[in-house]
Structures are given as C-alpha cells and as structure tokens.
Amino acid sequence: MRWNGGEYNGEEEEMTVKIRFFARFRELLGTDIMTDVAAGTMCTSLVATLAKKNPEGYAAIFDENGAFRDFVILMKNGKRIDIADAAKTLVTDGDEIAVFPPVAGG
C-alpha cells in the first residue's frame, strides 16, 4: 500500500458510500446519493466532489480555500466528525456521510 498526499495509489478497489445532505444543502445538491469511491478517499474530498456538481451547493458548504465552512455539521455513520479532521478521515465501503447546516429561523 502506498500513500501520496492522502490519495491511494495502489490497485483500485471500488467501494460504495451514501451521502445525505440536509436542509438547504439538500435543496442544492439532492440527497441519499450512492456513489462509488476509490479506496483511500477522505471525507472532505468525497463531499467536495459531489458538491461541485452545483457551484452554489459547493459554495454553501466550502469556503474559498476549499475548507468546510465552520458551521457545517458532518456525521459519519451517525457519529460526529470534527470538520477539522474531515480531510484525514477515510471513508470505507458502506459508510453513510451526513452533511447539514443548522437552521436559524424561529
């Protein structure tokens, strides 16, 4: 196994993960998206790849430096992931990633 900048360079091993967007993110990007990812994919790159399908959706979730906006809440299989750790959090086959914004109105 060889790593290079967080990307896996060995044999391609397809895995399927599910991404769930909530609230405004859902309006912009849809939800319950099943996607195949290569082994070694990190949480941030997975979400970014999907979010890029709609520039407005991407901009809602990521800042100009490609980092998660600070209010974004990320969950992997029902457990909170600190957004600061998302770039080094691996996704594995069968994972469910949830991405949502708190809603503020009252």
Partner 1 sequence: MFSERECERYKRQILLFGDEGQERLKNAHIFIAGAGGLGSPVSLYLAVAGVGTITIVDMDRVDQTNLNRQILHFDRDIGRKKTASAKEKLQAINPDIMIYAIDVKIDEMNAADLIGEADGIVDAMDNYPARYLLNEVAIAKEIPLFHGGIRGFYGQATTIIPGTTPCLKCIFPKPPPKEVFPVIGVTPGIIGVVQANEVIKFLLGRGELLAGRLLIWDGMQAHAEEICVERNPACDACGGMVENTTARKKK
Buried b (16+ CB within 10 A) or exposed e, 76-105: beeeebebeebeebebeeebebbbbbeeee
Tokens read off for 41? 């994919």
* Nearest to partner 1 of 2, 79 (CB atom): 79
Identify which of residues 21 and 46 has a Cβ nearer to partner 1 in the complex: 21
Residues that bind partner 1 (CB under 8 A): 22-24, 26-27, 70-71, 73, 75, 78-80, 98, 100-106
Q: Which is nearer to partner 1, 8 or 22 (CB)?
A: 22
